Chain A
Amino acid sequence: MNTVSSVPHFIIQPQKKWKLIDFKELYKHKDLLYFFVLRDVTVLYKQTVFGLIWAIMNPVFSMVVFSFIFGNLANIPSDGIPYPIFSFSAVLPWTYFSQAMNGATNSLLSSTSIFTKVYFPRIIIPLTPIVSKLADFFIAFVILIIMMLFYNIVPNINIIFLPFLILLMVLSAAGIGMWLSSLAIQYRDVRFAVGLLTTLLMYAAPVVFPASLVQQKFGDVLYYLYGIYPMVGVIEGFRASLLGFREMPWGLILIGTVSSTILFISGTYHFRKTEKIFADVA
């Protein structure tokens, strides 16, 4: 028989206080997150002819289209980098961000049958696509490496900052994912709006153009304000650390880190504040 101290004990009552992530509880349910992620990754490409190739197809296709339209036709400057690899180094984190954002938005809606039946930390549900979409990201990363070999680009010392940039990318996606998932379960409009938002955010990010263009046209103040959108720092950081054609944009990265941290913390607060009604509004 268990002794008193080892018996888990909890109290059920209306929660008034706001709370952030309960890491201890989350750790106890880490296997659930693992199997949710595994499920997403396994199921996604089941019964497809091309399987994992689809993970590459999306960003490669975007890169080809962008290179043709923006690189060739519109002649948008690319900081002196060949346009295909210039755009692919942005499409790569962008694809992750948009897929994770969309996945998180729909995550609660598509798992109502689970969370209305069993208790577990609800935050695992939107975290699942945040983690599982990394699989596609790393698969597509292989293409980037191949392109770098093709263009004979050797990264400089700044490559050591790449893990941090990936972390920042995940944090941004998680932050917006927290907001959108908990809003979408209550206001179903969000599910439709997120498609629009994705397009908007794509053209707002320096995917098809360099951030330096913003600096040239609008000046330093707007350039750093632009950095509030965390994907700006992520994408420009990717280009700097992988391709080495420009200085690490530390200003943008710093601003982005602050804003994405705020986004994540506020999103998590909102999620935790509203999670008690999920089962009632689902």
Chain B
Amino acid sequence: MSNTAIKVDKISKAYLIGLKDEMHENLGNAILSWLKYPFSNYKRLRKLNTFKNNQESDDLFWALRDVSFEVKHGEVLGIIGANGAGKSTLLKILARITEPTFGRAEVYGRVASLLEVGTGFNLELTGRENVYLNGTILGMTKKEIDRKFDEIIDFSGVEKFIDTQAKKYSNGMRIRLAFAIAASIDTEIMIIDEVLSIGDAEFQRKSIAKMESLARDGRTVLFVSHNLSAVKAICSRAIHLYNGKLAREGDVDKIISAYLSQYSKDHTVQKWNLESAPSNEFIKLIKAELKHQSENGEPLKSGDPFEFEFILYNLQTTEHVLDIVFQLKDELDNLVFVGSSLDDNYEKVKEGYIKWVCKVPANIMNQGSYSLNKFYLIKDKTTVIYEHRNILSFEIMYAFDMRIGDIGRKEGIIKPKLHWEMCVLEEVES
């Protein structure tokens, strides 16, 4: 017996984008343009028939391009890549939700896809009715659900409310029930997308543990996540998608570190030599770098301290106070904070190389993508003498700590570790 669970062979998926007059969301327009342009329509239709793999057209967006890989039975494969790299499209194709434009995939075994938890939940129905509805949507039969019902209710912890309408549940209860149903599925192949990104820390810990037990049971799992730490913990192998193409595949540690080093190479340092440096009559910018302490190229994680290093060559022969100012923004363009060297240093400087190091203490930053969106120099607290946009950008990864279940982004722009004290004032004897 062949040991292959999934064999993906040159899968491509194209979406038609733009060119509004060729897409008719509206029957009236469609009929009208059909009447007006039978000829162009004919050409367009004929073009669709002779759709070639190598066709480069402006109105086509290739979400996936010639992706091939194989998954063995019992293997847990992580799929990583930036937003828009094609991860979700790949899962949707393998889950048979959408069809590939070209290529083929063979799947051996029953497949369950968990692209979200609680698909089809109806708030008017009771918890019990929802278990059956959601379970059958996920591909179980009534008999299977009957058999697992107690286990599901047990795992969800909502047994008291099982005959209550789901609209009276709290959000957390709904998620727990939905996850319990999903967790009870035991098909040979499971396709899982970002299920972990919802719920509280307790829920996330539970779901990671569940995924690990799936992996131990010899289930074949395809797992897409932004949570690299979780991918590392669960998967044995990984593929890295980049702009719809398969960039790398192999051992999970290797792929993740390659993925991260690509990130860091691209954005966390900028260096110039004296000739090519961006400059004006006041200064030449030599280097801007994000530095952090970590063993063997580990990524920067939420909670780690890090520092920015700026080196510039000052061309001014007279002494001035130079203030280095930067804005740190997150991916949603929120201003996280403004750093200013004047906060700590008033020393006057004159011509020569100068290095500034700005230390960001530990336990402040949240997980996410950040950029030093604005970087500028102010002379003598009054005049802006230099400005540089988007000088650095970097990623802060999840800190993965099974002990406290702290694996995700917390709400809020920053994630400070606060100091807490507790003392028992009075204990009641029981």
Contact = CB atoms under 8 A, between A and B. Distances in A.
Interface of A: 2-4, 7-15, 29, 31-32, 34-36, 38-39, 42-43, 46-47, 111, 113-120, 183, 187-190, 193, 276-277, 279-280
B372 interface: no
Interface string B87-113: 000001111111111111111111101
Contact of A189 (B11, B26, B98, B108): B26
Nearest to A8: B110
Contact of B100 (A12, A38, A118, A188): A12
Contacts of B11: 12
B119 interface: yes
Contacts of B15: 280
A3 B1 contact: yes
Contacts of A4: 1
A280 B94 CA distance: 15
A119 B116 CA distance: 13
B142 A31 contact: yes
A11 B109 contact: no
Contact of A13 (B28, B103, B115, B116): B103
B136 interface: yes
B159 interface: no
29 contacts: A4-B1, A8-B108, A11-B106, A12-B105, A13-B100, A13-B104, A14-B100, A31-B141, A31-B142, A42-B129, A43-B125, A46-B124, A115-B97, A116-B92, A117-B97, A117-B119, A118-B113, A118-B119, A119-B97, A119-B111, A187-B24, A187-B25, A189-B26, A189-B28, A190-B27, A277-B99, A279-B92, A279-B97, A279-B98
B259 interface: no
Given A9-B108, A12-B104, 19 more contacts: A3-B1, A8-B109, A10-B106, A11-B106, A12-B96, A12-B106, A12-B107, A36-B133, A111-B120, A113-B119, A118-B97, A118-B119, A118-B137, A118-B139, A119-B111, A187-B30, A189-B26, A189-B28, A279-B98
B122 A39 contact: yes
A3 B188 CA distance: 13
B313 interface: no
A113 B133 CA distance: 14
Interface of B: 1, 11, 15, 24-28, 30, 92-111, 113, 115-116, 119-120, 122, 124-125, 129, 132-133, 136-142, 188
Contacts of A119: 95-97, 111, 113
Contacts of A46: 124
A117 B93 CA distance: 11
Nearest to A46: B124
Contacts of B104: 11-13
A39 B106 contact: no
Count chain B CB atoms within 10 A of each CB in A117, A189, A193 and give the residue with the most. Answer: A117
Q: Which 7 A-B pairs have the closest CB atoms?
A: A13-B104, A189-B27, A187-B27, A119-B96, A276-B99, A12-B105, A32-B136
A32 B137 contact: yes
Contacts of A29: 136, 139
B124 A7 contact: no
Contacts of A12: 11, 93-94, 96, 99-100, 104-107
Nearest to B117: A117
Contacts of A113: 119-120
Contacts of A187: 24-27, 30
Contact of A10 (B25, B27, B107): B107
Contacts of B188: 2, 7
A15 B99 CA distance: 8
A117 B139 CA distance: 12
A185 to B, nearest CB: 11
A190 to B, nearest CB: 7
Nearest to B119: A117
Contact of A114 (B28, B119, B124): B119
Nearest to B193: A117
Contacts of A15: 99
A117 B107 contact: no
A7 B109 contact: yes
Contacts of A2: 109, 188
Contacts of A183: 27
Nearest to B141: A31
B142 A116 contact: no
Count chain B CB atoms within 10 A of each CB in A15, A29, A187, A193 and give the residue with the most. Answer: A187
Count chain B CB atoms within 10 A of each CB in A7, A47, A190 and give the residue with the most. Answer: A7
Contacts of B102: 14
B26 A188 contact: yes
Contacts of B139: 29, 118, 120
Count chain A CB atoms within 10 A of each CB in B26, B108, B111 and give the residue with the most. Answer: B108
A193 to B, nearest CB: 8
B298 to A, nearest CB: 34
Contacts of B24: 187
Contacts of A35: 132-133, 136, 142
A193 B136 CA distance: 33
Contacts of A43: 122, 124-125
Nearest to B15: A280
Nearest to A3: B1
A171 to B, nearest CB: 25
